[in-house]
Amino acid sequence: MSTTTPSPAAIAPADGKLGVLVIGLGAVTTTLIAGVELAKRGQGLPIGSMTQMGTIRLGKRTDGRSPLIKDFVPLAKLEDIVWGAWDVFPDDAYVAASRAGVLEQGKHIEAISEVLRDIRPMKAAFERKYARNLTGEHTMGDIGKRAMLNAIREDINRFRDQKGVSRLVMIWCASTEVYIEPCEVHSTIEAFEKAIDANDERIAPSMLYAYAALLEGVPFANGSPNLAVDMPCLRQFATERNIPISGKDFKTGQTLMKTVLAPMVKARQLGLSGWYSTNILGNRDGEVLDAPENFKTKEESKLGVLEDILEPTKNPDLYGDVFHKVQINYYPPRGDNKEGWDNIDIFGWMGYPMQIKVNFLCRDSILAAPLALDLVLYSDLAQRAGLGGIQEWLSFYYKSPQVAPGLYPEHDLFIQLTKLKNTLRWMMGEDQITHLGREYYEN
């Protein structure tokens, strides 16, 4: 082994059912559920999911060992997943999927209509002030934060008992909440507990779901940019209780592109003077993000990427004066089919300017669903491998990866991929792949 950290002694087998509790039964969640259910029935391929379709090289390039990841690490099987959800709207997954307008009704919704109709959301822990463009009434009501926390915990335990699941994972796929700056109420569990009792408005519903998950020993993954589990008190709590956490914000479209292109610009020592990113999006997510205070949360998550990759202080001639702008415009006719434009102004040898234009016509939830599936399966794996606290190896999936205090996040997609695969190799006691490759040239 080339690493000094010993691999986990043993990974508990993925026996029994895995309960997947999703917060938000909207476009991403219904696309996730429908895709998994179709894949289980051989009626669709889980494209975009590393856990289902990816391979991993083991040993030397000459060894010819590249198993499927799902054959290499003991992941839960799709057949063992049982779904649960909360939402602000009472629609079951069939109605929610039809309304989201991502999947073809005849081919991909009717085919599994019975399963989808069976998934009915529990009442949401929700307050309008955190997403004012949402009007749903299927909520716990104005019962106070402590009562909300307790009600979420009861929901978790009822679900566990009724469905007979042996393990649970919780994932936030709900709307982006308004921007909240981490502050003293998020610093320690004592302060956080007090703030819950005081109904402090700096305690958002996502934080209550995250805390409830951790109190019940359930791993938590955060697909949105709101803080949820990304605050000192919950990070500490998750580490102490040895429960995996990860976030924030699925890296699906424009930021995915950015974390491929920006490392290329930097690798070639090209300069950057500006990066203008704009999007049109017409789904409910776009509607929620149309409120400036909700967009601010998203903006923060999207803006940090370039600075971390380019490290302007280390190379001010190339990156000391970058104009970076990100916009999302709500445009209902497009529904979930987002269109993103990037104009990138770069400069080369002797300062001569050049431009790169990207026009990505993507489907938001089609890109997000496989990430959500992988995060669920890897979070469960981490739990069984005894890995608690921040799962930085899952950075690959996030726009704004959670890292230990004092560390800068790795945003480069291919560094993230290497890190993820090396973590899997490490978990299974295989050699790290460093790409040094001297052995091929010796004798």
What does each C-alpha distance from 94 to 29, 44, 83 come to in angstroms? 11, 17, 13
In which region does residue 398 sit, left (phi positive, over 0), alpha (psi from -120 to 50) or beta (all else)? Answer: beta
Within 378-417, which residues bind ligand NAD (CB under 6 A)? Answer: none
Tokens of 171: 């994932």
Select the span of 121-129, 181-189, 350-358, 409-417 touching ligand NAD (CB under 6 A): 121-129
Nearer to ligand NAD, 72 or 211 (CB): 211
Alpha-carbon distance of 200 to 370, in angstroms, equals 35
Residues 126-185 that bind ligand NAD (CB under 6 A): 126, 131, 134, 136, 173-176
Smallest distance from the beta carbon of 108 to ligand NAD, in angstroms?
16
Q: Does residue 26 contact residue 405 with C-beta atoms inside 8 Å? A: no
In the stretch 191-220, what mask flags binding to ligand NAD with x, by CB under 6 A?
--------------x---------------
Nearest distance from residue 94's CB to ligand NAD, in Å? 14
Tally Cβ neighbours within 10 Å of residue 187. Answer: 14
Q: Which is nearer to ligand NAD, 87 or 392 (CB)?
A: 87
Residues near 244 by Cβ (< 8 Å), separated by ≥ 6?
Answer: 219, 220, 238, 379, 382, 383, 387, 388, 389, 391
Q: Is 87 in the site for ligand NAD (CB under 6 A)?
A: yes
- How many helices (H) and strands (E) the chain has is answered by 15, 11
Are 425 and 5 in contact by the 8 Å Cβ rule? The answer is: no
- Residue for token digits 């940090």? 304
The distance of closest approach from Cβ of residue 338 to ligand NAD in the complex, given in angstroms and rounded to an integer, is 7
Which of 18, 75, 88, 280: binder of ligand NAD (CB under 6 A)?
A: 88
Non-local CB neighbours of 198 within 8 Å, separated by 6+ positions: none
Total number of residues that touch ligand NAD (CB under 6 A): 36
Does 370 bind ligand NAD (CB under 6 A)? Our answer is no
Of the candidates 312, 316, 317, 338, the residue with the CA atom closest to the CA atom of residue 327: 338
* Binding residues for ligand NAD restricted to 273-302, rule: CB under 6 A: 283-285
SS3 (DSSP) at 176: coil
Query: Closest by alpha carbon to 248, among 134, 417, 409?
Result: 409
Q: Using CB under 6 A, which of 51, 224, 379, 416 touches ligand NAD?
A: 224
Q: Which is nearer to ligand NAD, 173 or 394 (CB)?
A: 173
Specify the stretch interacting with ligand NAD by CB under 6 A; choose among 48-56, 186-194, 238-246, 248-256: 248-256
Residue 319 or 330: which CB sits closer to ligand NAD? 330
Interface with ligand NAD in residues 12-71 (CB under 6 A): 23-29
CB of 75 to ligand NAD, least distance (A): 23
Residue with tokens 């039964």: 25
Q: Does 368 engage in binding with ligand NAD (CB under 6 A)? A: yes
Q: Please measure the distance between the N-terminal and C-terminal CA atoms of the chain and give it in whole angstroms.
A: 23
* Locus of tokens 């087998």: 13
Of residues 250, 319, 330, 396, which one binds ligand NAD by CB under 6 A?
A: 250
Stretch that binds ligand NAD, among 6-14, 66-74, 250-258, 424-432 (CB under 6 A): 250-258
* Residue number of the CB atom closest to ligand NAD: 26
- Which residues bind to ligand NAD, rule: CB under 6 A? 23-29, 86-89, 100, 124-126, 131, 134, 136, 173-176, 205, 223-224, 249-250, 252-253, 283-285, 364-365, 367-368
